[in-house]
Structure 1
Amino acid sequence: MIVEVVGGLLSGSLALLADAGHMVSDAAALAFSWIAIHYGKRPATLQLTYGYKRLEVLAAFVNGCALFVIAGWILIEAIRRFAAPVPVVGKTMLIVAFAGLLANIAAFLVLHGGNRENLNMRGAWLHVMGDMLGSAAAIVAAGVILLTGWTPIDPLLSIFVAVIILKSAWGIVKSSAHILLEGSPEFLNPTEIKADLEASVAQVQEVHHIHAWSITGERHMITLHAVPAPGISAREAMIAVQQRLATRFGVEHATIQIEEGACAGAHGGDTRCGDASSSGEPSRR
C-alpha cells in the first residue's frame, strides 16, 4: 500500500493511487473481519443468547459499504482525469504495479481456501480480489502508456476496476443486509417447508406460523407450530419434525410448538393462524 501511494504520486498514475486507496480499506476490512471471527468464537451469554456470531455478518456489511465508497471515489477521480489529463510515468507505474500484484496474489492464495459461505470471509476475499484486479489493470495501463503514450488508458481501466468492485460490493451488502433484517434464507421458503412437512411427516397433520432466519450465512433457525396426527403424542410429533428439518433442510436448531385444537396464536375464538411470530418451548393445549 505504501509503495503504491509513493509510486502513484511519483508516476502520476490514478490506477496506482486507486489500488492503494482500495488497499487502505482492505487493511481495515481484514482487521475488522479478523476481530469479528475472533469475537464470534466466544460462547453465548444470558444477554447474547446466540453468542457473538452476528458480528461476522455486521463486518461483511460494513466491508461491502466501504467498497461502495472506494469505487465511488475512483469513478469521481477518473472523470476528473478525463477532464484534466495528468502526465503518467509508465516505467515507475509498471514496476510498482507489478510489486503490488505479487503481494495481492499472495494474500489471495491465503484467503482462497476459506469458507465462501461465510459472508465475512467472502467479503475479505472480494476485497483482496479487487486489489489484485487493480494491480493487473495498472500493469496493463502502464504497458499501453509505455508503448503508445496514450495516458487516458489509466483512468479508463480505473473505471473498469471500480465497476467490478461495485458488483462485488452489491452482492455482499445485499446478502448481509438480508440476514440483519432477519430475512428467510433463499432455500428456506416457509411455503415449501409447510408443504414438505405436511406431506412427508406422518406424525403431524398440519404446520403453521413458520418463521425462518439466519444468525450467520451458515447457521439457520426455524420456529413453527405443529398439530400432531390423531393418536400421536406431542413428543413424537416434535421429534419427527425436528428430524425432517435437519435431514431435508439442514436446520439443526428448530423450536417446535405443539398444538391440539385451536392455534395458540388465535384471538377472539378464531382458530385460523396468521403470520404473527410465535415461539417457545413445546407445549400441549
Structure 2
Amino acid sequence: MLGIAFALTALFMFVEFAGGLLARSLALFADAGHMLTDAAALALAWAAVRIAARPADAKRSFGYQRLRVLATFVNGCALLFIVTWISFEAIERLLNPVPVNASVILWIGSIGLAVNLIVFTMLSRGHAHDDMNVSAAALHVLGDLLGSAAAIVAALVILWTGWLPIDPLLSLLVCALIVKSAVSLVRRSAHILMEGSPEWLDQVELRRTLEQRIPAIRDVHHVHTWSVGPHETLLTMHALVSVSADQAVVLKDTKALLAERFGITHATIQIEVEDCVDKDCEQPPLKRDRTARG
C-alpha cells in the first residue's frame, strides 16, 4: 500500500514541477513541493513500517516500534517547513503578481487531483487513523489533494476573470487548512518521544481503581507510564500490600485488572509489604483527591 502510494506520488511530482515551471504558477509549485514531501513522507512511513516489524534483539529489547513515532515527527516537521515556505512565497506573489498559464494549471491540477484521490483512498483504507505514522503520510497527501483542488480553482478564476492574486491566495488557504493537523502530529509524536504519559490515561483513576478493586493493596505509588510505539503502553509501579496478602495472587490480579480496565499488558510491579524502599514515594494528587471525597 505505502510502496504503491510512494511510486504514484513520486512520478506525478516531476510532472507537476515541470508544469509549474511552464505555467509559472505558485499553486502548481506549492503542489509540487507538497508532493515532494509527500513522496519523502510515504517512503519514510513505508520504511518505518517494515523496520518496526523486526523482532526485539539484545540491543533493542523493545524492538523498533519507536521508529514509527520518529517517522511521524520528521514528517510533521517537514510538512510545517514546506507550509512556511509556501506561505512566504504566496505573500511575495500577492505583493508582486506574476502572469501564469491558466490552461496548463487546469490540466495538471486535474490530473494531480485524481492521483492524490487515489493515494489518499489507499491510505484511508489502510486504517490511517489507527497508525500515527500512516496518519502523518496521509496528512501530507491530503494537503497535496487540497493543493490540486486549489490549483484547479485558481486556473478557472484566472481563465474567467484574469484575477492573478487568486493563485497565491488559495495557496495560503491550503496552508491554513493543514497546519493545525501538522502541529498536532508533531506535538503527539514529540510527547511519545519524550516518554510522556499517554494522553488517554488518567493515573489518578488508575491508582484509585487498583486500590479499590484489589483489597490486599493498601497503596499504589511510583507509577510511571509511557508508550514505546503508537499503541503499546508500558507501566511500572509500586504496590504496598498487607502482611497477610498472597503476593503472587496480588501480582496476578493486578496485571489482569490493568489489562482488562486500561489495556496495559506490559507492566512491571514491585510488591512492598512494609514501607516503600525508595525515596519520594508519596504522590500527592491522589492523597488530595481522597481528602476532597472524604
- TM-score, normalised to structure 2's length? 0.89
Residue 257 (str. 1) matches residue 266 (str. 2): no
Q: Residue 123 of structure 2: which of 111, 115, 135 is its match? A: 111
Tell me if the contact between 2:240 and 2:275 (Cα under 8 Å) persists in the aligned partners.
no
| Runs of 4+ with deviation above 4 angstroms | none
CA–CA distance in structure 2, aligned partners of residues 251 and 114 of structure 1: 25
Provide structure 1 residue ranges, at least 5 long, that are not aligned to the other structure. 276-285
Q: What is the SS of the residue equivalent to 2:200?
A: coil
Deviation at 1:12, TM superposition (A): 1.5
Tell me if the contact between 2:35 and 2:144 (Cα under 8 Å) persists in the aligned partners.
yes
**1:17 aligned partner, one-letter code:** F
CA–CA distance in structure 1, aligned partners of residues 227 and 53 of structure 2: 17
TM alignment of 1:1-285, pairs within 5 A? 1-115=13-127, 116-229=129-242, 231-266=244-279, 272-273=281-282
Deviates more, 1:222-231 or 1:13-22: 222-231
1:223-256 CA-partner distances (Å, limit 9, x unpaired): 1111224532111111111111101111111111
Q: What is the SS of the residue equivalent to 2:267?
A: strand
Tell me if the contact between 1:203 and 1:236 (Cα under 8 Å) persists in the aligned partners.
no
CA–CA distance in structure 2, aligned partners of residues 274 and 265 of structure 1: 13
Q: What is the SS of the residue equivalent to 1:258?
A: strand
CA–CA distance in structure 2, aligned partners of residues 266 and 156 of structure 1: 59
Deviation at 1:91, TM superposition (A): 1.1
CA–CA distance in structure 2, aligned partners of residues 224 and 81 of structure 1: 58
CA–CA distance in structure 1, aligned partners of residues 15 and 58 of structure 2: 48
Q: What is the SS of the residue equivalent to 1:99?
A: helix
CA–CA distance in structure 2, aligned partners of residues 113 and 30 of structure 1: 15
Q: What is the SS of the residue equivalent to 2:130?
A: coil
Q: What is the SS of the residue equivalent to 1:17?
A: helix
**1:3 aligned partner, one-letter code:** V
CA–CA distance in structure 2, aligned partners of residues 154 and 171 of structure 1: 27
CA–CA distance in structure 2, aligned partners of residues 266 and 20 of structure 1: 57
1:122-171 CA-partner distances (Å, limit 9, x unpaired): 10111111111110111111111111111100000000111122112101
CA–CA distance in structure 2, aligned partners of residues 102 and 7 of structure 1: 16
CA–CA distance in structure 2, aligned partners of residues 229 and 107 of structure 1: 58
CA–CA distance in structure 2, aligned partners of residues 129 and 45 of structure 1: 37
Q: CA RMSD in A?
A: 1.4
Tell me if the contact between 1:265 and 1:273 (Cα under 8 Å) persists in the aligned partners.
no
Tell me if the contact between 1:203 and 1:240 (Cα under 8 Å) persists in the aligned partners.
no
- TM-score, normalised to structure 1's length? 0.92
Deviates more, 1:228-237 or 1:75-84: 228-237
CA–CA distance in structure 2, aligned partners of residues 266 and 101 of structure 1: 60
**2:245 aligned partner, one-letter code:** I
Deviation at 1:189, TM superposition (A): 2.2
Q: Give the total of aligned pairs.
A: 271
**1:180 aligned partner, one-letter code:** L
Tell me if the contact between 1:22 and 1:70 (Cα under 8 Å) persists in the aligned partners.
yes
Provide structure 2 residue ranges, at least 5 long, that are not aligned to the other structure. 1-12, 285-294
Deviation at 1:203, TM superposition (A): 3.3
1:91-118 CA-partner distances (Å, limit 9, x unpaired): 1110000000000001001100223132
Tell me if the contact between 2:34 and 2:144 (Cα under 8 Å) persists in the aligned partners.
yes
CA–CA distance in structure 1, aligned partners of residues 206 and 256 of structure 2: 13
